Amino acid sequence: MRTTDQQAAALGTRERIVRTTARLLQRQGYEGTGIKQIAREAGATLGSVYHFFPGGKQELAVAAIQHGDQEFAELLREGLAAEDDPAEAIAGCTRLLAAALRESGWAEGCPVTATALETLGTSADIQRACGAAFGHWSELVAEKLRTAGLAEEDARALAITVINTLEGAETTAQVLRSEEPLLLAGRHLAMLVHAHRQGAP
Amino acid sequence: MRTTDQQAAALGTRERIVRTTARLLQRQGYEGTGIKQIAREAGATLGSVYHFFPGGKQELAVAAIQHGDQEFAELLREGLAAEDDPAEAIAGCTRLLAAALRESGWAEGCPVTATALETLGTSADIQRACGAAFGHWSELVAEKLRTAGLAEEDARALAITVINTLEGAETTAQVLRSEEPLLLAGRHLAMLVHAHRQGAP
DNA sequence: TATCGGATAGAGCGCTCGTTCTAGATCTGT
DNA sequence: ACAGATCTAGAACGAGCGCTCTATCCGATA
């Protein structure tokens, strides 16, 4: 097919817009990010943005959130696979997050939190996408915990807290411009996992 | 003093503006909240807002963050004082937070997170105020843990994770419109505190 | 070669933003 | 009673918002 080039170019522009939006939402939130800014920084024009996302800013935000969802999931997968022991693996994830956060100049934290909080009363679509992201991430952790022998329900519950703690620690790390909250989270979550493996829930 | 009435009225307007701003920041974030909306909902006028906060939106946001800081600290103090055992006390705090969140229709979560994330690169003053709030809250938790016999450094570190977990769980609870993340956080944080009291750090 | 739909381009719409500015209202100290 | 802060009131400004609209470009098919 000769259409490949055209489609590749099309995907190229669309993908550039989504990635740029994801990064800007992560850094400035939903209301703080303008569509014109997105077009400018993505090297696209307003026409292209509305061509690919006729639903406007909300549709674009949903796509960006889903992109961030997958990106963060990939980081989690890598971190969790790096160690057999789930406690060590989770602590490893906090180190990955801390390093990435510092390298971005403390600007690029959780890809969905800021947008989620701002748009809670505004857009049900965005809220759904954010909720789905949390679900995907905690499912990855839960699977790791199950593999290590935790009971189904314990694994599910603990995984939710793991994701929540990572999220909160990442936010605090950004505000304080320090890796400490994330590294402490890693240490404490490891203890919590150990407590589950040894004894009562 | 006859000035009392005037000052009271002045404080009245100022206080109304601050409280309204705090509530709106909590619900809509920084960029999503307009000064005209604040004035309208506070029953004040633009002139009054700029009279009391000549520094404009940023100065107003700092005052609102500090108000939210104290409000949340008061809730923490109450929750922590309600039980002797720090693990039970922290779990009690999660129940207080869950109830308050649900009563607000899942709209009023952590009073600083949304604003903090949005203004990270924008205003150093706001960032400082948010960082100070986290510090105050974790210090309250640390004090409770110290009273229960934890070593100074353990108490400080664990308190930071407690606040981070509460924060993350509150965010997730808002997005999912469910108390579960907060209640799970309470259960797991209680386990974590017990682990510290019984054995190694 | 003629045609046609996907993609690009950006001027312009109505609106709201944060802020400034001038006037008037209200109360205090003398 | 008068002067002078303090506080209230809201019109007006330039800038930027999300979005619509028309015009053009370009590669693929017939």
Structural domains of chain A sorted by starting position, each given as residue range(s) with its CATH number in brackets: 58-198 (1.10.357.10)
Q: What is the pLDDT of residues A154-179, one digit of tens each?
A: 999 999 999 999 999 999 999 999 99
Residue A59, C-beta contacts closer than 8 angstroms, at least 6 positions apart: A53, A125
Nearest of A100, A89, A95, A103 to residue A184 by alpha carbon = A95
What is the spatial distance, in angstroms and rounded to an integer, between the CA atom of B114 and the C1' atom of C6? 40
Whether A146 shows a pLDDT value over 60: the answer reads yes
Nearest by CB to A185, from B28, B161, B185: name it.
B161
pLDDT interval class at A108 (50, 70, 90): very high
Coil, helix or strand for B109? coil
Cα(A181)–Cα(A194) distance, integer angstroms: 20
Work out if A5's Cβ lies within 7 angstroms of strand D. Answer: yes
pLDDT at B26: 96
**pLDDT exceeds cutoff 70 at A181:** yes
Give percent of chain B with pLDDT exceeding 90.
90
Predicted local distance difference test score (pLDDT) of residue A121: 86
Whole-number pLDDT of residue B175: 97
Residues in chain A within 8 Å Cβ distance of B166: 168
Structure tokens of A144? 């790791």
B33: closest chain A residue by CA: A31
CA→C1' distance for B83 and D19 (Å): 55
- Residue A174: predicted pLDDT: 97
- Average pLDDT on A18-36 reads 96
Lowest mean pLDDT across B8-17, B40-49, B103-112? B8-17
Q: Is B108 exposed, middle or buried (0-12, 13-18, 19+ CB in 10 A)?
A: middle
pLDDT band at B12 (very low <50, low <70, confident <90, very high): confident
Point out the residue among A175, A176, A188 whose CB comes nearest to the CB of B161. A188
Q: For residue B159, how far is the Cα from the chain centroid?
A: 15
Residue nearest to nucleotide D22 (CA to C1'): A47
Q: Using alpha carbons only, give the angle B159, B30, B140 rounded to the nearest 5 degrees.
A: 15
A34-42 long-range Cβ contacts below 8 angstroms, 24+ apart: A35/A60, A42/A13, A42/A16, A42/A17
CB pairs under 8 A between A and B: 156
Indicate if the pLDDT at residue B115 is higher than 90.
Answer: yes
